A and B are shown apart, each in its own frame.
Chain A
Amino acid sequence: MEGSVGYDNDLNLKATELRLGLPGTEPVSIVRSNKRSLQQVADDDCGVNGCKSDDQNETAPPPPKAQIVGWPPIRSYRKNNIQTKKNESEGGGIYVKVSMDGAPYLRKIDLKVYSGYPELLQAIENMFKFTIGEYSEREGYKGSDYAPTYEDKDGDWMLVGDVPWEMFITSCKRLRIMKGSEARGLGCGV
């Protein structure tokens, strides 16, 4: 039941065309895709294992429809209830809370939107308007009073970046930007 069938049959629809976007602008802003398309994934594989993209393109199904923010109007706890039953569900984001010591409010982010640690950390820096230091495996985050940490499935607080990204997004329950000595404590070797 594609809605587009209805108005594609009419003539001269430019004037009344409904688009997902503001008139006069490219319709990008409000449509947000949580998943990388299968083609993109195939392309990523190209460098390591040789180009598989041609094969992948032929057999891969079309990428899932991009989700519109706020539609359908279902509250997050309902969405979470549906998602819990499926594992890698389409459209299911991995929402975690992000808190920062000293900030009066929490933020919530969808980990699936980011492709790796640099993107995630950049987003958090923007969100709370501060800078995270330089990461090194041995010394944690240096150069700032803050360190990004997360609580994993076992309830332990870990430094963000210590485990591979894929492992991180499946085990992260919440994020906390620690400040001061607590932060330094976590960072100092293991």
Chain B
Amino acid sequence: MQKKMAYSFPDEILEHVFSFIQSGKDRDAASVVCKSWYEIERWCRRKIFVGNCYAVSPTMVIRRFPDIRSIELKGKPHFADFNLVPDGWGGYVLPWISEMAGAYPWLEEIRLKRMVVTDESLELVAKSFTNLQVLVLFSCEGFSTDGLAAIASSCKNLRELDLRDSEVDDLSGHWLNHFPDTYTSLVSLNISCLGSDDVSFSALERLVGRCPNLRRLLLNREVPLDKIANLLSRAPQLIEFGTGTYAAELRSDVYSNLAEAFCNCKELKSLSGFWDAVPAYLPVIYSVCSRLTSLNLSYAPIQNPDLTKLVSQCPSLQRMLVLDYIEDSGLEVLASSCKDLQELRVFPSDPFGEEPNVSLTEKGLVAVSSGCPKLQSVLYFCRQMSNAALVTIAQNCPNFTRFRLCLLDPKIADYRTLQPLDVGFGAIVEHCKDLRRLSLSGLLTDRVFEYIGMHAKKLEMLSVAFAGESDLALHHVLSGCESLRKLEIMNCPFGDKALLANAAKLETMRSLWMSSCSVSLGACKMLGQKMPRLNIEVMDEKGPPDSRAESDPVDKLYIYRSVAGPRFDMPPFVWTMDEDFASELS
């Protein structure tokens, strides 16, 4: 009787139920309930996220999920952002596009991060996915405006084109002309990374003018200030706007046109750009300030008092990105004006200078932590810190989800007590029980890692540099942090012991990066032999690892779990420690 009931439940009903489950994790959970659920789920999954493009092959993805409409892929390790991953490392999207071209003709959304995207890939995308609506290339490289021209001319249903932080070979601004006159569907355009002097401004104006649903427009630096008013007047419905260069000679006609244009954008909530900004033109945005929820001034060389004055006019801010020109005094004003603040990022204006050029210290961050009860996410570059300040911050903000502190001198001690900053960061992990992301800096011993292993149970991503004294530190993290997915370490005295003792942990994580540490070649080979579901990649630009002794430390190590086996597209400076390699040499 029971068996009959189980099989009489129609697949269509289950499929309908599954259509309400959007989260990938929930779908994964549903798919392992039983074989029939696995089958039904895989046919109706439409969206997939691949956090490491080498963890699985396109063939495997296509075989399991025959009808995907939205894909997100990530390539290079995070430290590639800081030039730690040599060019040519990998992360090529072409193999994925080639296979999906045949399998997913109805693909609507492609989101890529830190991948190498060539013009050939973009041309293939344009040709194969006629229904493409979203193309996001986040921190990608390898393509030029020719590839963009192909997308513009073919993708009639494109709503979103976002090139944020990508390196584009800017051959000419004329790619914008490739959007046909009949194309009107643009909703979001981010070209802030483009460098060309030759921005086809007329093409941009016409494009903006004929797309009534355009809500998000982020321009590149080359767009001059006196052209903005015209653009804005064609798109008063914008919610998010990024200016080009924000400097020009003060002219009253330009000024008043700008002021009027901004004033007419009644829905504008987010502003960015402001390259080379001069104080003279800041007041034109005052009419918008009270509504602003997000403000990115991190490219603006504006200093106090103009900077603080601007910030004080934005009481609705939830997200603030700024250079350290804001100084402690400006952050105190921010703390008293912006009670809805959730995210703060303060970048250094002179990171390589020997002496501080601004008065930005731990006091600014303490002020914001005290004044802004909703603060959840912090990225803060400064030159001094104390344990006392960190403890205060931790107590003020138990709701932190992301905390990244970067002291410009990476091993600097508590400036007041000359002690390591262990206790301070310990307080952060102890009080902030929902902390998902943490970056450490300053003088740190093994003790801070003991605290992290003990308390940071929800921590998913940890970045460490110049910290710790022994393998015990790494052991604390690998054995204690239950939710750890990504661990990236540079210049720490961590060797083989902790790694080998916690080898199994590595299969529960997305990836581990270790550069300029003390992991030996022998340990890498051992891991490669014992852990077939891990790819152990050793990177060394000086020469092949077999020219050294087993005990020699490797320069860079990248370990990630994979069901696709070792990759085949490695450049000459990357070696995989799979079983074959180890046995070949012994």
Is B411 a contact partner of A18 (Cβ separation < 8 A)? Answer: yes
Is A7 a contact partner of B88 (Cβ separation < 8 A)? Answer: no
One of A6, A30, A72, A79 near B491 (C-beta < 8 A)? A30
B408 at the binding interface (Cβ < 8 Å): yes
**How does the 8 Å CB contact mask read for A1-22 relative to B, with 1 for contact and 0 for none?**
1110111010000001010111
Using CB atoms, name the residue of chain B closest to A71.
B410
Is B419 a contact partner of A6 (Cβ separation < 8 A)? Answer: yes
**How does the 8 Å CB contact mask read for A61-87 relative to B, with 1 for contact and 0 for none?**
000110111111111111101100100
B79 at the binding interface (Cβ < 8 Å): yes
Residues on B with C-beta less than 8 A from A108 are 87
Is B418 a contact partner of A1 (Cβ separation < 8 A)? Answer: no
CB distance from B425 to the nearest CB of A (A): 16
How far, in whole Å, are A183 and B87 apart by their CA atoms in the complex? Answer: 24
Given A1-B415, A107-B88, A69 and B352 touching (CB < 8 A)? no
One of A3, A76, A78 near B443 (C-beta < 8 A)? A3
Q: Which of B167-196 contact A (CB under 8 A)?
A: 167, 169, 193
One of B86, B443, B490 near A7 (C-beta < 8 A)? B443
B349 at the binding interface (Cβ < 8 Å): yes
Q: Which of A12-68 contact B (CB under 8 A)?
A: 16, 18, 20-23, 25, 29-30, 64-65, 67-68
A91 at the binding interface (Cβ < 8 Å): yes
Given A22-B516, A22-B517, A69-B84, A75 and B165 touching (CB < 8 A)? yes
**How does the 8 Å CB contact mask read for A95-109 relative to B, with 1 for contact and 0 for none?**
001000000111110
Given A18-B469, A23-B518, A105 and B88 touching (CB < 8 A)? yes
Using CB atoms, name the residue of chain A closest to B79.
A70
Q: Which of B124-158 contact A (CB under 8 A)?
A: 141-142
Using CB atoms, name the residue of chain A closest to B118.
A104
One of B88, B167, B299, B384 near A81 (C-beta < 8 A)? B299
How far, in whole Å, are A42 and B520 apart by their CA atoms in the complex? Answer: 42
Report the count of interface residues on A (CB-CB < 8 A). Answer: 45
Report the count of interface residues on B (CB-CB < 8 A). Answer: 63
B583 at the binding interface (Cβ < 8 Å): no
Residues on B with C-beta less than 8 A from A85 are 276, 301
Residues on B with C-beta less than 8 A from A7 are 413, 443
Interface of A is mostly: loop
CB distance from A92 to the nearest CB of B (A): 8
CB distance from A36 to the nearest CB of B (A): 16
Using CB atoms, name the residue of chain B closest to A9.
B418
CB distance from A54 to the nearest CB of B (A): 25
Residues on A with C-beta less than 8 A from B83 are 69-70, 76
Residues on B with C-beta less than 8 A from A105 are 87-88, 116, 142, 571
How far, in whole Å, are A133 and B486 apart by their CA atoms in the complex? Answer: 46
CB distance from A181 to the nearest CB of B (A): 22
B351 at the binding interface (Cβ < 8 Å): yes
CB distance from A154 to the nearest CB of B (A): 12
Q: Which of B272-291 contact A (CB under 8 A)?
A: 275-276
B81 at the binding interface (Cβ < 8 Å): yes
Residues on B with C-beta less than 8 A from A29 are 516, 555
Is A73 a contact partner of B411 (Cβ separation < 8 A)? Answer: no
CB distance from B466 to the nearest CB of A (A): 7
**Most-contacted residue by chain B among A30, A67, A72, A74 (CB, 10 A):** A72
**How does the 8 Å CB contact mask read for B390-406 relative to A, with 1 for contact and 0 for none?**
00000000000000001
Is B493 a contact partner of A73 (Cβ separation < 8 A)? Answer: no
Using CB atoms, name the residue of chain A closest to B87.
A107
How far, in whole Å, are A35 and B275 apart by their CA atoms in the complex? Answer: 28
A138 at the binding interface (Cβ < 8 Å): no
Residues on B with C-beta less than 8 A from A72 are 348, 351, 381, 406, 408, 410
Using CB atoms, name the residue of chain B closest to A76.
B83
Residues on B with C-beta less than 8 A from A104 are 92, 118
How far, in whole Å, are A65 and B553 apart by their CA atoms in the complex? Answer: 26
Is B553 a contact partner of A6 (Cβ separation < 8 A)? Answer: no
Residues on A with C-beta less than 8 A from B348 are 72, 74
Is A82 a contact partner of B469 (Cβ separation < 8 A)? Answer: no
Residues on B with C-beta less than 8 A from A5 are 413, 418
How far, in whole Å, are A113 and B24 apart by their CA atoms in the complex? Answer: 46
Residues on B with C-beta less than 8 A from A78 are 298, 347
Q: Which of B56-113 contact A (CB under 8 A)?
A: 79, 81-84, 86-88, 92
Residues on A with C-beta less than 8 A from B414 are 6
Is B411 a contact partner of A3 (Cβ separation < 8 A)? Answer: yes
CB distance from B194 to the nearest CB of A (A): 11
A90 at the binding interface (Cβ < 8 Å): yes
CB distance from A122 to the nearest CB of B (A): 14
CB distance from A96 to the nearest CB of B (A): 12
CB distance from B539 to the nearest CB of A (A): 13
Query: Could you show 11 A-B contacts with beta carbons less than 8 Å apart?
Result: A1-B412, A5-B413, A16-B469, A64-B354, A68-B410, A70-B515, A72-B410, A74-B381, A77-B167, A91-B352, A108-B87
Known: A73-B439, A104-B92, A106-B142. 12 other contacts (CB 8 A): A6-B414, A7-B413, A23-B518, A25-B553, A68-B410, A71-B82, A71-B410, A73-B463, A75-B81, A78-B298, A89-B352, A91-B352
Question: What residues of chain A have their CB less than 8 Å away from a CB belonging to chain B?
Answer: 1-3, 5-7, 9, 16, 18, 20-23, 25, 29-30, 64-65, 67-79, 81-82, 85, 89-92, 97, 104-108, 129
Question: What residues of chain B have their CB less than 8 Å away from a CB belonging to chain A?
Answer: 79, 81-84, 86-88, 92, 116, 118, 141-142, 165, 167, 169, 193, 275-276, 298-299, 301, 347-354, 381, 383-384, 406, 408-415, 418-420, 439, 443, 445, 463, 465-466, 469, 490-491, 493, 515-518, 553, 555, 571-572
